[in-house]
């Protein structure tokens, strides 16, 4: 409280207390704490917690963390939809994904596909889906992607697996055979 706000009949004690309790703080740094672009990096986990960002630790870089926080409201609005799944994969830098729903052999054009995903005549396979990624994932990244899918994907669906057999880095030696990478499908 400032001395100028006290009434004219103030006592010397009240004036001394007003001077002693006067705040000389600048509140402007607090303004950026709730913004994912301006929040200081050490406080990003707290901002993610306040926005209920699940699997915040899956983000490897600060830019990915900021992207997850920035899109968290939109993802929560669309949680349980395919667009939410795609958005989270984009935010984590895993690129665009294709999601195949329903465990059947036929594509939309009627062509028969035998790629291991379909089960002939299995009526219980309707909630299964697979995520096809064009980027090479390590086993650790795949585990993080599965945790994200458990949180964001529709609750009625069952993840069949993560398929990155179309990744261009499999055959050129980028993924060494040291157990950190696999060359294709990670089944759940």
pLDDT of residue 46: 94
The band of 44, judged by pLDDT with boundaries at 50, 70 and 90, is very high
Residue 42 domain-assigned (yes or no): yes
Residue 52 lies in a domain: yes
pLDDT at 7 exceeding the cut of 60: yes
Rounded CA-CA distance 23/158 in Å is 57
Identify whether 88 is part of a domain: no
What gap in Å lies between CA 107 and CA 114, rounded to an integer? Answer: 10
| Res 98 pLDDT > 70 | yes
Which residue is listed with tokens 């696999």? 182
Confidence of residue 182 (pLDDT cuts 50, 70, 90): low
Q: What is the pLDDT of residues 129-146, one digit of tens each?
A: 888 887 777 778 788 888
Which among 157, 35, 27 is positioned nearest to 85, based on CA atoms? 157
Compare 110 and 134 and report the one with higher pLDDT.
134
Q: Does residue 102 share a domain with residue 64?
A: no
Contact 157, 180 (CB under 8 A): no
What would the two tokens of residue 163 be?
Answer: 């398929």
Asked if 174 and 101 sit in the same domain, the reply is yes
186 & 100 share domain: yes
Residue 63 pLDDT more than 60? yes
Instruction: Say whether 55 sits in a helix, a strand or coil.
Output: coil
Q: What domain range is 37 assigned to?
A: 29-77
Residues 6+ apart with CB under 8 A from 142: 162, 182, 186
Average pLDDT over residues 118-131: 66
How far CA 76 is from CA of 52, 174, 177, in Å, comes to 9, 36, 38
Residue 138 C-beta-side C-alpha neighbours within 13 Å: 10
Q: Does residue 4 lie within any of the structural domains?
A: no
pLDDT at 36 over 60: yes
Let me know whether 58 and 128 are in one domain.
Answer: no
Are 99 and 187 in the same domain?
Answer: yes
The tokens of 127 are what?
Answer: 């909630």
166 and 119 Cβ atoms separated by less than 8 Å: no
The two structure tokens encoding residue 159: 């993840």
Number of domains in the chain: 2
Mean pLDDT of the chain: 78
More confident residue, 38 or 109: 38
Residue 52 and residue 114 in one domain: no
């Amino acid at each position: 409280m400032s001395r100028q706000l006290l009434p004219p009949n103030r006592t010397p004690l009240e004036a001394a207390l007003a001077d002693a309790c006067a705040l000389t703080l600048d509140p402007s740094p607090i303004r950026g704490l709730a913004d994912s672009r301006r929040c200081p990096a050490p406080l990003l986990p707290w901002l993610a917690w306040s926005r209920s960002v699940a699997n915040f630790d899956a983000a490897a870089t600060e830019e990915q963390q900021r992207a997850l926080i920035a899109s968290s409201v939109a993802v929560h609005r669309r949680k349980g939809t395919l667009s939410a799944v795609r958005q989270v994969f984009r935010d984590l830098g895993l690129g665009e994904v294709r999601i195949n729903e329903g465990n059947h052999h036929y594509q939309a054009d009627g062509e028969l596909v035998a790629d291991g995903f379909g089960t002939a005549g299995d009526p219980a396979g309707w909630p299964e889906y697979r995520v096809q990624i064009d980027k090479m994932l390590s086993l650790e990244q795949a585990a993080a992607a599965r945790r994200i899918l458990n949180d964001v994907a529709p609750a009625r669906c069952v993840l069949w697996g993560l398929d990155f057999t179309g990744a261009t880095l499999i055959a050129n030696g980028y993924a060494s055979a040291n157990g950190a990478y696999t060359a294709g499908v990670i089944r759940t």
